[in-house]
Amino acid sequence: MTITLNHFSAALVFSFFASIVFGITHRDNARDMVRYGAYCFVMFLGGVFVAGWLMWVVKR
């Protein structure tokens, strides 16, 4: 079975699961885990957009 994800989808999936693991392992209580996981998710996706636009600027 082959799955083909486009680049953004791959980044989204990666960010989602990595953020869950980061949230659980880097904080002590449930509330902080959820908040930190959400923060990591936003940072991952934000980084994807920033990197994309930076590459556009460099190419231009």
Partner 1 sequence: MANSTTEKSKVASAETTNAMSVIAPAVGWLVPGAGHLIQKRWIRGVLLFVSIVTLFLLGLAMQGRLYKANGGDILDILGFVGDVGAGALYLMSLAMDWGQGAIAFATADYGTKFMIVAGLLNFIAVADAYHIAIGKKE
Tokens of 37: 């996981």
Residue with tokens 């885990």: 33
Stretch near partner 1 under the rule CB under 8 A, chosen from 8-16, 39-47, 49-57: 8-16
Binding status of residue 2 toward partner 1 by CB under 8 A: yes
The contact mask relative to partner 1 for 9-48 (x = CB under 8 A, - = no) is: -x--xx--xx-xxx-xx--xx-------------------
Q: Where are the alpha helices (DSSP H) in the chain?
A: 7-26, 30-59
d(C-alpha 11, C-alpha 32), whole Å: 24
Binding site for partner 1 (CB under 8 A): 1-7, 10, 13-14, 17-18, 20-22, 24-25, 28-29
